[in-house]
Chain A
Amino acid sequence: MGNLWSVKNAFEFLGSECRFADKPSQIDESEVLVLPGVGSYFRAMQRLRESGLQEALREAVLVAKKKILGICLGLQLMAEVGFEEGETVGLSFLTGSVQRFTRKELGQLKLPHIGFNKVIPDPGNRLFQGLGPAADFYFVHSFRLLPKADGNGSMKAVCRYGVEFLAGYENENIFGVQFHPEKSQTNGLRLLKNFLTA
């Protein structure tokens, strides 16, 4: 997946003005940031580093405290380290690592995990406001974020595929989802709207 066009299309439907940022200055000019997933962990981090976007993102998110939403690989990139195509240092906006589901966890289940699955958010989660105690979202992934307990007031949403895994994360200005809200129909649009108004 990782279709930039769909993410932009969904935000425009909600009335936002959207631009693809390929220069650090565009990150500075933006009010809120969205980090969708494209390609593999290694390649994505490499591109962020080489384009200077990594530094701009760190500055915007950690210092200027701009709101950011990581989607799919975008959520994973915000971790400390990813283990797709070797070991890659991530953006480290949150603590934890990104690893493939294991055979033992999955049993007979197949990878990638594709389709709509039930997500259960912590009560009070801002992203999931108005979506009830559980809501369905569309997933396409083989890796997932294993967060470290950080005790800093972060909130989670979980999903189950053989094993329970992190489907949503939020802490202050940092938001991330493992599923694709831009492909999750009414629930997804509501979540994106919640992000914009959070």
Chain B
Amino acid sequence: MLKKRIIFTLLYENGSFVLSRNFRLQRVGDLFWLEKNYNFDHIAFYIDELIVLDVTRGRRNIENFAGTLKALATSCFVPIAAGGGIRNQGDASLLLRSGADKIVVNTSLFKDPKMVKELAAEFGQQCVVGSVDLKRQEDNQFGIFIGNGAEKIEVGVLDAISRILDKPIGELYLTSIDRDGTGQGWIVCPTVAKCR
């Protein structure tokens, strides 16, 4: 029987780590800060998996992100998924060489499915994590947002999720924009729950 996993997500923006609430970011500190105040090396022994996302608004610097990732990964002996702004195989490869085991893709699931396919072909399907951000709309229905939650896609949740599950991804990673960072847990989207 597979066990439940406690997966910790760290968000990174332009050289520092950030807290996010409903996808609005608040800067907390850099890698040194994280070690000093969180004792992250220690915490890393109490989680089952780590996700590190570059949620930089605007232009990203993937080399810097990879450097930070590597420093984190050195004292972390759990599976690490990393992503945020992956544009091509080279980006993915850089993160995989910097300690990541899996690559998280979100916007490209919709904007560049060809690249997602290429990543799976090169690194294996188990290496690709599909990330989907959901938000409840005024009509109480859920919608899917890409680009750090900035852009709504005009495809129904059921259609979109079914299509994503047909793509060569190993895992699906869902985030509720409404509940993000609120400590209130996840809103179960009934449509997603139905998808197999």
Contact = CB atoms under 8 A, between A and B. Distances in A.
Interface of A: 1-3, 5-6, 9-10, 13, 39, 112-118, 136, 138, 140, 160-161, 180, 182-186, 188-189
Given A6-B99, A13-B77, A116 B1 contact: no
27 contacts: A1-B127, A3-B96, A3-B101, A5-B97, A6-B77, A6-B101, A9-B73, A9-B99, A39-B124, A112-B125, A112-B126, A113-B2, A114-B2, A114-B170, A114-B171, A115-B3, A117-B1, A118-B1, A136-B3, A160-B1, A180-B79, A183-B78, A183-B79, A185-B48, A185-B78, A186-B45, A189-B77
Interface residues of B, dominant DSSP: loop
A184 B96 CA distance: 18
Nearest to B127: A1
Contacts of B59: none
Given A9-B99, A185-B45, A140 B126 contact: yes
Contacts of B184: none
Centre residue among B45, B48, B79 by max chain A CB count within 10 A:
B79
A177 to B, nearest CB: 15
A138 to B, nearest CB: 6
Contacts, number: 70
Give 5 closest A-B pairs by Cβ, nearest first: A116-B3, A115-B2, A112-B126, A183-B79, A140-B126
Nearest to A40: B124
Interface residues of B, number: 25
B74 interface: yes
Given A1-B126, A183-B78, A118 B101 contact: no
A160 B1 CA distance: 6
Interface string B105-144: 0000000000000000000111100000000000000000
B126 A116 contact: no
Looking at A3, A39, A113, which has the most chain B CB atoms within 10 Å of its CB?
A: A3
B78 A138 contact: yes
Interface string B53-84: 00000000000000000000111011100000
A181 to B, nearest CB: 9
Given A115-B2, A118-B1, A138 B99 contact: no
A1 B125 contact: no
B78 to A, nearest CB: 6
Interface string B136-175: 0000000000000000000000000000000000110000
B196 to A, nearest CB: 9
Contacts of B79: 1, 138, 140, 180, 183
Contact of A112 (B78, B98, B170): B170
